Amino acid sequence: MIDIQKEDKIAIITIDNPPMNAVCKKMLDELENKLEDIIDENIRALIVTGEGKAFIAGADIKEMKDMEPKEAREFSRRGQNIFNKLQDLSCPVIGAVNGYALGGGLELALSCDFIVASEKALFGQPEVGLGIIPGFGGTHRLEESIGPAKAKEIIFTGRKLGAEEAKEWDIVNHVVEDDELMDETRNIAERIIENSPFAIEKAKQAMDQGRGKSREESLKIERDRFKDCFEAPDQKEGMGAFLEKRDPQF
């Protein structure tokens, strides 16, 4: 269900659970295992995508239909924890959304640092039509991404957004032609890995840890992560290379 390929310092996780890549317990187990592989290896950028016409088109309704409340709570907790693990990776994570990103699919995409979408992509949180709510972090991450009013409209109506509208709503960074999705996403990943991995990790920490805090608290976090950079070899190499007019070796 979860395939991983490694190309130099870039890893690509592909979700492959035909026909629509629905989220199920087995998929969560496999995703968690693949994320452990990413943590253990020198991966400097991760791309997450789907196989076929869906990124993830939602959850496995057959598996969920007869869940008891305690079981549902545990399923939600497990999904949240694994998506948190994805979001908390030290390397940048890019969602390459190739098709339907509905329910858990949008929640997974929002766990990435940013999203590149195929023109055929479709986004939404349609859970209320099934008598439930988003359970893998959607109520939090969607509001954090686009603000409470827009997030509530999407969740309360269950409406779906095409790729261009999702870009207008600041869910998506880039929309590309379907056959260019992976090439464009790889190009972005390659530009990322040209830079200091330590500095990128600290920039990600500063932004993620400072989100939602007061300006004073957020700037203190930035100062601390800025200080961290001067304790690592990348700062000396980067600035030395600049002064010596050569490419840095990170």
Q: Write out the catalytic residue numbers.
A: 107, 127
Residue 198: its H or E element: helix 197-210
Give how far the C-alpha of residue 135 lies from the chain's centroid of Cα atoms, to the nearest Å.
16
Contact 5, 14 (CB under 8 A): yes
Residue 143: its H or E element: helix 138-146
CA separation, residue 243 to residues 101, 194, 198, 237 (Å):
46, 18, 20, 10
Contacts of residue 141, defined as CB under 8 A and 6 or more positions apart, other chains included, come to 107, 110, 111
**3-state SS track over 5-70:** EEECCEEEEEECCCCCCCECHHHHHHHHHHHHHHHHCCCCEEEEEECCCEEECCECHHHHCCCCHH
